Structure 1
């Protein structure tokens, strides 16, 4: 994908998302998601577009990992979510598992199940979801495998490569159907920019090397008249002057 063309499309006044400008922080956040998708995505334009749309919505267009309520620190975030079900300290570490990251990961269980993709113990260190590399990776892997969807379906079930998009139920891969129409609009905008920039590169496996033919070298055939030659050689010895 031509990233220069991609960002130019996002900056267009009619883009449907950013309009005429992007801050460096937003550019960095988007590049982080693109990088994570290149290594952990499924190579589909639609999946990348929905990941970007999700980040756009959940971070208030900041595109970088944030705490719930855009709180500046843990204490502020705890006060914001204190009355919510997941707003109480939980688990052996006593952390509050409020929304963090570009996907706003919540609940101790979800931090636990996402630890493997983070390559970090998110139960012990939930603020690692504020790391842009970890955050983007968890968001993409979660969209793909449907871990936050009660039906266990990933994003491809709702946004098939060949077939119509079910944007309402696509939102179930993150948060039931909350604000699905709004996010669907962002998805359409990002998908248009991706296609304008050439789409997600399709990685084609290198062809297997053509095996070399096995050549069997012809073996010398023994001379069946060896005995006569031996007798002749012996005779030469005795007749030599």
Structure 2
């Protein structure tokens, strides 16, 4: 209903109450209606709005309490991950486990890495039978068919299929982590299988969530990290 229609209805209602067909709204009536409307109006929550850390200083302060000082490259990594996770509107427990996974899989660098990054490209070519479609990213994307799937589902226009190193771009790697963990790309297991869509996740739930990536390899260690990230996100007002 437009404002004009609303006030026309209000005039008609006043005439009905007073029995005077010529009655109209006084300025005092209009002011009272406007004041009452303003007091009750609340903007509708945008369900599609990205989530974000509301208090970055508090978040990074809590993170540094268990990581120590952070390099700018690590902060940039957090930014890429939180941007992609926020766009997906992940709840706090999912976000915490996504960060913990990236932190662990990249050896705490928060930068996308190549599979066996401590070894040479010639080693990978000689020893990895799915070369050049070896693991890359915050979470290791492997095999040509999975690169092609990610390219298609993330609408990358063939860039990832033509150049697998495109998965090393932080924003692309973050989107792959988000889609992969949410949809079960890596092991068929996904976040919703283990973690709540609202509220906090517990240690056992985080431990079980390791199956999303790699069965139960180092599951307890990563779960402990996830709990700490969850506390940091709560301190930073993740919403």
TM-score (norm 2): 0.69
Structure 2 stretches lacking a partner, 5+ long: 1-52
Residue of structure 2 in register with 1:5 after alignment: 58
Residue correspondence of structure 1 range 184-223 to structure 2 within 5 A: 184-198=223-237, 200-201=238-239
Q: Is the 8 A contact 2:207 2:222 kept in 1?
A: no
Runs of 4+ in 1 over 6 A off after TM superposition: none
Deviation track 1:129-153 (CA, whole Å, cap 9, x = no partner) reads 011111001101111111222xx34
Q: Is the 8 A contact 1:65 1:135 kept in 2?
A: yes
Instruction: Give, in angstroms, the shift of residue 82 of structure 1.
Output: 3.7
From 169, 172, 196, the counterpart of 1:134: 172
Deviation track 1:40-73 (CA, whole Å, cap 9, x = no partner) reads x23300111111111111100000111122258x
> How far apart in 2 are the matches of 1:27 and 1:197?
15
TM-score (norm 1): 0.69
- RMSD across aligned positions (CA): 2.1
Q: Is the 8 A contact 1:67 1:77 kept in 2?
A: no
Residue correspondence of structure 1 range 94-109 to structure 2 within 5 A: 95-109=131-145
Residue of structure 2 in register with 1:172 after alignment: 211
> How far apart in 2 are the matches of 1:110 and 1:171?
20
Instruction: Give, in angstroms, the shift of residue 167 of structure 1.
Output: 2.8
Which one has a bigger Cα radius of gyration? 1
Structure 1 stretches lacking a partner, 5+ long: 202-241
Residue of structure 2 in register with 1:208 after alignment: none
Deviation track 1:170-193 (CA, whole Å, cap 9, x = no partner) reads 112112222211111111111111
Aligned residue pairs total 181
